[in-house]
Amino acid sequence: MPTSILCMLLFSGIAIIYFIADHYSKENRISRLVNKTNKVKINKCKQNEYVQIIGKTITGNKTLKAPFSQRPCIGYYACAELYRDSAWIVIGSEIRFTNFFLEDTEGNRAMIRPGSLYYDFKQIFIETDYKESLKSDKNTKPRLEKFLEKHDVYNTNILSYNDNIRFREGIIDLNENISIIGIAKWKIVKDDTKNYNNTKVLLLTGTKSKPLTITNLKN
């Protein structure tokens, strides 16, 4: 087979692999789901319907603190990556959320409880908006080292790659407009002490085939 044809097949194969990897990346997968899922106002949601609600986050009983920037938030994604063999490799990561409400433009609210779902019943993508390195100032560096220690990668060998470790973080902020896709479940709240007795409240949940999806991607 001529060399020109072999080269063409090689480049075509690389292009196909890149396309498949890009097509199925979490960011693009969630972006496509956001674009194709019907956007519904909270008071128009039907029981067991898979819907998308856009609104601002309202804190519940507590907030979280992002591990690197120390910002208060509803949820965050944080990771440490090591540059080796021409690629960034994740050596430690975590996603955490507290329970919260999502309020639409009409002032109605839905309950969101990410922590109550199994791992594969939800998918989350938070845009990175904060970066750090181990070259940071003395006030920040201990937080970065604590994160490595928490994920069992804080050792002499890792620290020898000091210049090749980066830390990335993204948060869901208080009062931030985000998209949430989930299965609508209307619940009756019975709580006389808070005047919620027999009040209908919307809860968004998920399953393996229809996961609860939370993102602040701007489409």
Of 146 and 159, the one with more pLDDT: 146
Average pLDDT over residues 51-60: 94
Per-residue confidence (pLDDT) for residue 128, from 0 to 100: 94
Mean pLDDT value across residues 116-142: 84
pLDDT of residue 11: 39
Q: Specify the pLDDT at position 168.
A: 95
Q: For all residues of the chain together, what is the average pLDDT? A: 83
* Non-local CB neighbours of 42 within 8 Å, separated by 6+ positions: 53, 55, 104, 106, 108, 109, 110, 202
The pLDDT, as a whole number, for residue 15 is 35
Who wins on pLDDT, 152 or 107? 107
Query: What is the band of 160 on the pLDDT scale with cuts at 50, 70, 90?
Result: low
pLDDT value of position 122: 93
Residue 155 has a pLDDT of: 65
pLDDT of residue 140: 76
Q: How buried is residue 73: exposed, middle or buried, by Cβ count under 10 Å (0-12/13-18/19+)?
A: buried
Does 22 or 164 have the greater pLDDT score? 164
> At residue 26, does pLDDT exceed 80?
yes
Higher-pLDDT residue of 200 and 36 is 36
Alpha helices in the chain (DSSP H): 3-23, 26-36, 141-150, 156-159
Contact 204, 187 (CB under 8 A): no
| Residue-wise pLDDT tens digits, 180-196 | 999 999 998 765 545 55
- Please give the Cα distance from 88 to 161 (Å, whole number): 12
Q: What is the pLDDT of residue 13?
A: 37
Q: Is the pLDDT of residue 198 over 80?
A: no
